Structure 1
Amino acid sequence: MRTKRFLAAAAAALIASTGLVACSSETESSSSSKGDGDNVTVKIGTTDADLKAWSVFADEAEKNGIHLDIVRFSEYPQVNPAQSEGQIEISKFQTINYQAQYNATSGKDLRIIGSGEINVLGLFWKDHTSLDGIDGQEVAIPNDPSNQGRAINVLVQAGLLKLRDGAPKLTPTPADVDKNASKVKVVAVDASQTPNAYNEGRPAIINNNWLQRAGIDPASSVAADDPNSELAEPYINVFTVSGDDLDNPTYEKLVDIWQSPEVTEALNEDSNGTAVQVQRSKEDLNKILDNLVEEYK
């Protein structure tokens, strides 16, 4: 399958990255899940520890008798291997889609214990407030595997693209677009170049990180995906654990704390209002995960 070539390369990158794990803990504690009176310590990994939401999350967890030993990772590919090797107990950094790619390429079976937020992905077109006049335009989309399929589906939801019969529903590529039935063309570029396309006057799908760096108002999008749509499900951010910990009540409590009003408010501030909390059962989340793993194999 066409995905296997990408996945083979991704697997090699993951293997290489495991020898280069660069992480640090916010505490001196080297012991994991040890109680201190009525408190328990949980070693949790993330790439987002500097965000306000994580500071509020740690404070709220402490109020509930859970001390977070936050392990900071500098790159995404470092986290799942560290979890598989038992260096951390739980993580919160990735989407279901990213976890599915890891499971499929590594042969591991990390599981999802709860959901967090989904960051809405938008279509931006400088000096335009609607899709009027977009027919025939070339739309720049990110070319990385984590965002490309989702960007195409944003355009599908907006009625601008049609996919060929038999195309993968959740992970389409530009080759899956039915050009004759579509209103726009897509040009896949590095995600860092999507703001440049926007500034040149071309419509572009731009993810939140690059929106913030380019100073583009997230509210100015002319279209966006629906966080409640089936097509958006792979992009729900999740809490990941080993299979043995899928029913751990302390970790389930952390999911509840992340969904609290205090953390949600901080999350909205961090994301400029583009983050939407999603509450889905772990059964539903793991079903989405397993379906994606099969698609990536």
Structure 2
Amino acid sequence: MSSTTTKLLAALAAAPLVLALAACAPGAAGEEASDDVVTIGVVGKSDPQWPAFEQAAADAGITVELVDFADYTQPNPALTEGELDLNQFQHIVYLADYNVSADEDLTPIGATAIYPLGLYSTKYDSVKDIQAGDTVAVPDDPSNLARALLVLQSAGLIELDGGGSIFSTVADIDEAKSKVKVTPLEASLTATSLPDVAAAIINNDFVEDAGLTFADAIAKDDPSDPNALPYVNIFAARAEDKDDATYRKLVEIFQTDPEVQAGLLESSGGTAVALTTPVSELEESLATVEADTKAQG
């Protein structure tokens, strides 16, 4: 997750958001929506790709209203309830987990980018300097938790039973073979925990807010790995709106506008790998992860 791969059980006591949302009547398949105002939920409205996106959309005759959320737990319920037309903040694994747990059918309508997930520390300059018994903080929502654990395993800090998977939890850590202790926290809080822990996995949306740069990461995963498809970030819509022509046009604008793409790279510190993955592949990946998630339950 914007990253943007770039928040399920919230430890953050965020005040309820008052959303002044303009209604948007969804168009039928292949038709324009009857209202050109499209509300899109994001986490990090100030990121430089979004002003460029709003302007590019306006140039195409579409007014975009961005709704900023404090953490990852809020945009999917808001989309489900019709308070938003689209959201763009999550990867496929996160969406699958939401759909299964909430019994919903939100669906991807376009890819944006994949982001490496990084391990950061204000105490150590290298992973090898982390001491046995130290504590490392990770995001606590299931999709990002599993990915974070895989990063820690790749860095040699923990060992997961069976080698780990996108469903790994802290219960899968082989403590006898692991160097560090792992503490799950709400995703927006892992960065603020840095003074109290040896290191933390920090989602891209919160890196710069914590006064860090992406270059500060002392370990990260590889977004070019073919197995990384479930971590592609996407625009999501309600299933009945997946063929809306206006929404598909907005995806195209995001993927092709030079200023939007430049802003995406800027906001990720040059780490984002922009993608135009076919929607059919995104849908197939979502279906697979949802099926696997249900089997895990």
State the Cα RMSD in Å.
3.4
Preserved CA contact (<8 Å) 2:139 2:202: no
- SS of the residue corresponding to residue 120 of structure 1 reads coil
Provide the secondary structure at the position in 1 that maps to 2:52: helix
State the match for 2:120 in structure 1.
124
Give the whole-Å Cα distance in 2 for the aligned partners of 1:255 and 1:265: 16
| Alpha-carbon displacement from aligned partner over 1:109-166 (angstroms, at most 9, x marks no partner) | 1111111123322122446544334473534122411532121111233344332128
* Moved segments of 4+, more than 6 Å: none
1:211-243 Cα deviation digits (max 9, x unpaired): 323312320222111112356444322111222
Conserved in 1, the CA contact under 8 Å of 2:78 and 2:84?
yes
Query: Distance between the aligned counterparts of 1:24 and 1:129, measured in 2?
Result: 45
**Residue in structure 2 matched with residue 275 of structure 1 by the alignment:** 272
How far the C-alpha of 1:23 sits from its partner, in A, is 1.4
CA contact (8 A) 1:122 1:206 kept: yes
Q: Residue deviations 1:30-78, cap 9 Å, x none?
A: 45468xx9x9715232134333311100111223x24133152535444
Count of residue pairs brought into register by the alignment: 273
1:227 aligns with 2:205: no
- Alpha-carbon contact 2:96-2:290 (below 8 Å) kept: yes
With over 3 angstroms needed to count, the CA separation of the structure-2 counterparts of 1:50 and 1:135, relative to structure 1, is closer
Determine whether 1:110 maps to 2:117. Answer: no
Change beyond 3 A, Cα 1:141–1:66: farther
Q: Structure 1 stretch 132-141 or stretch 264-273: which is displaced more?
A: 132-141
In 1: Cα distance, 2:68 partner to 2:194 partner: 31
CA distance in 2, matches of 1:290, 1:160: 32
Q: Name the CA shift for 1:217/1:90 in 2 (closer, same or farther; >3 Å).
A: closer
Q: Which has the higher helix share?
A: 1
Deviations along 1:178-229, one digit per CA (max 9) or x if unpaired, are: 33444x2232142566446644672332233443233123202221111123
Percent identity, aligned pairs only? Answer: 33
Alignment of 1:45 onto 2:40:
yes
Instruction: Please state how far the C-alpha of 1:79 moved relative to its aligned partner.
Output: 3.1
Once the two structures are TM-superposed, the CA of residue 101 in structure 1 deviates from its matched residue by: 2.3
- Greater Rg by CA: 1
Alignment of 1:219-258 (within 5 A): 219-229=215-225, 232-258=228-254
The structure-2 alpha-carbon separation of the partners of 1:185 and 1:61, relative to structure 1 and needing over 3 Å to count, comes to same
Q: TM-score, normalised by structure 1?
A: 0.76
Query: 1:44 touches 1:69 (CA, 8 Å); kept in 2?
Result: yes
Distance in 2 between the 1:31 and 1:211 partners?
A: 33
- Structure 2 spans left out of the alignment, 5+ residues: 1-7
**Structure 1 counterpart SS, 2:289:** helix
In structure 1, C-alpha distance between the alignment counterparts of 2:205 and 2:85, rounded to whole Å: 27
Letter in 1 for 2:144: N
Task: Name the CA distance, whole Å, in 2 between partners of 1:180 and 1:158.
Answer: 17
TM-score by length of 2: 0.76
Give the structure with the higher percent strand. Answer: 1
What is the distance in 1 between the residues matched to 2:39 and 2:217? 34
Give the 3 Å change call, closer, same or farther, for CA 248–138 of structure 1 in structure 2: same
Relative to structure 1, the CA distance from residue 81 to residue 136 in structure 2 (aligned partners, 3 Å threshold; closer, same or farther) is closer
Q: Kindly tell me: are residues 222 and 93 of structure 1, through their superposed partners in 2, closer, same or farther at Cα, counting changes over 3 Å?
A: closer
Note if contact 1:129-1:221 (Cα within 8 Å) is conserved in structure 2: no
Pair 143,105 (structure 1): closer, same or farther in 2 beyond 3 Å: same
Alignment-derived partner of residue 187 in structure 1: 182
Q: Does 1:216 align with 2:231?
A: no
CA contact (8 A) 2:58 2:64 kept: no
Name the counterpart of 1:24. Answer: 20
